[in-house]
Amino acid sequence: MKKRLLLLLLFPLFVSVHAQQLSPRQLYPGLFEEVQLGRVYADNKTFVDALPKESPEAIMQAYAQQKNKAGFQLKAFADTYFLPPTAATTLYRSNVAAGLRAHIDTLWSVLARPADTGGQFSSLVPLPHPYIVPGGRFREVYYWDSYFTMLGLQESGQTTLIRHILNNFTYLIGKYGFVPNGNRTYYLTRSQPPFFSLMVGLLAQSQGDTTMVRYQAPLLREYAYWMAGADSLAVGQANRTVVKMPSGQVLNRYWDASDQPREESYAEDVTAARESKQPAAVFYRNVRAAAASGWDFSTRWFDESGQLASIQTINLVPVDLNCLLYNLEKTLARTYELQGNTEEARRYQQKAAGRKKAIQAYCWDKKAGWFMDYNWVLGQRSAIRTLAGVYPLTFNLATPKQARQVAAGLQKDFLKPGGLLTTLNASGQQWDAPNAWAPLQYMAIRGLENYRQRELAGTVASRWVALNSNVFRQTGKLLEKYNVVNTTLEAGGGEYPLQDGFGWTNGVLLKLMNDYKLADKEAVRKPK
């Protein structure tokens, strides 16, 4: 009880600490908006990642003196006072003839970053240990990306680097009370899907159960972040990340502490807000919450119109998020079991059991044969089937009958020549058809294996590996996302061009190739 009280007392401190680290918009008021809305750089993320050549005070003083003078050019000013970043893989050229495994092995060093020394006035939040970046425009660590990258690092025998990444997240939890979306000042208002407990479990596979106990404190702190405010909620109310359901059970939603346009996509958000009937602050909060989910963007978060203007992320209780928190509760219970603390172990087991029951009650749609998100404002399940519906299988929350129904739905509707669709909606958004993403392929395959749907799991794995391999042979790259319907076309959608590198693609690909004994094109089902 004393430990729980201490965490609750410290939570406001965690929240206030990051407010002291100013983001680019806070450092360069006025100039920031002019640069972003004026499209000085094609990608709004370029400016927020740029390194200032002088102090913010000196830059703002120069801007005030020059901006109203005849002949003033904003691009020239930005070039004078800021050094734009370069992509992580800009200078790297792969040797296609050496094959996929050699490519991935080389990319670990290309995408690796040493411990940060902390450049003054940079938006980068320094980390004390080495880490892996995704690649392309993503020049910093990302929370949920890192778990899937770790799968490949594990296959490559890079346990030390896995531990470094995990310790970086432990550091961030200690500093902010949660793992931010990424280590940038403009990401300090939100987290991402909570995969920390899975990362701990991954390291424990090679270093034993004592690993789980060693990371108990950061696991508890992350749980405190996600559950903050739960005890004071009335039924039908929500506060930040928590929602109290009609049954009295608390479930969770994605959330961002800010209601302003995202700094890294400022122009896109300002433009999109003009098309929405929502108050701008509500629209921005929904957009940011979708970014916290990692699914930015998808019709999963929209109303029946299927338009971004209708985004309603904070109205939804996402099935995948609550499965991840179920795993966190189970992991915490295990850490207490290992310590011989049966009372606390039982308490977290009960929390997990309550969440499992609620996921079944609110997210399972018997008619659709699918696990759906739940709209707590409307009091009804979403009508949109998405690949997030496999998470209850991944975490063994589904009944055998439910798993068979989900597998049938995957086979009938989601399975395409290159793998599994993200949703069935071809909206133009990047987290919709015809696109597919490595992390969701992996979670689906793992869930299918859990319920002995091995033939389908092997089919998904072999199609995904074949697609990745074919694109690599043609381009020399592994990409952020893929078109699984027409495998000769690039994946589209999103607010930026298709990126290569790519951390989580590399990790999942190597894991599947090893698990299923897959060569570049040929599939052999994983032996059991």
Other Cβ atoms less than 10 A from the Cβ of 354: the count is 17
Q: Which helix (H) or strand (E) holds 35?
A: helix 31-37
Give the orientation angle of helix 2-19 with respect to helix 216-227, to 10 degrees.
70
The C-alpha atoms of residue 8 and residue 226 are separated, in whole angstroms, by 12
By C-alpha distance, which of 207, 208, 201, 216 is closest to 147?
Answer: 201
The C-alpha atoms of residue 425 and residue 63 are separated, in whole angstroms, by 46
Catalytic residue among 145, 337, 480, 500: 480
Residue 450, Cα to own-chain centre: how many angstroms?
23
Contact 484, 417 (CB under 8 A): yes
* Tokens representing residue 475 in the block: 């381009």
| Residue 480 is among the residues annotated as catalytic for this protein | yes
* Tokens representing residue 165 in the block: 């990444």
Strand-pair partners of 416:
419
- Residues whose CB falls within 8 Å of the CB of residue 368, separated by 6 or more in sequence, listed in order: 385, 409
Q: What is the DSSP string of 481-493?
A: -EESSSTTS----
By C-alpha distance, which of 87, 100, 90, 91 is closest to 152?
Answer: 100
The alpha-helical segments, DSSP class H, found in 245-398 are 266-273, 280-293, 319-338, 342-363, 391-394
Catalytic residue among 296, 329, 449, 500: 296
373: left (phi over 0), alpha (psi -120 to 50) or beta: beta
Contact 216, 204 (CB under 8 A): no
Q: What is the per-residue burial (b if ≥16 Cβ within 10 Å, else e) of 256-276?
A: bbbbbbbbbbbbbbbebbeeb
By C-alpha distance, which of 93, 332, 61 is closest to 201?
Answer: 332
Q: Kindly list the catalytic residues.
A: 296, 480
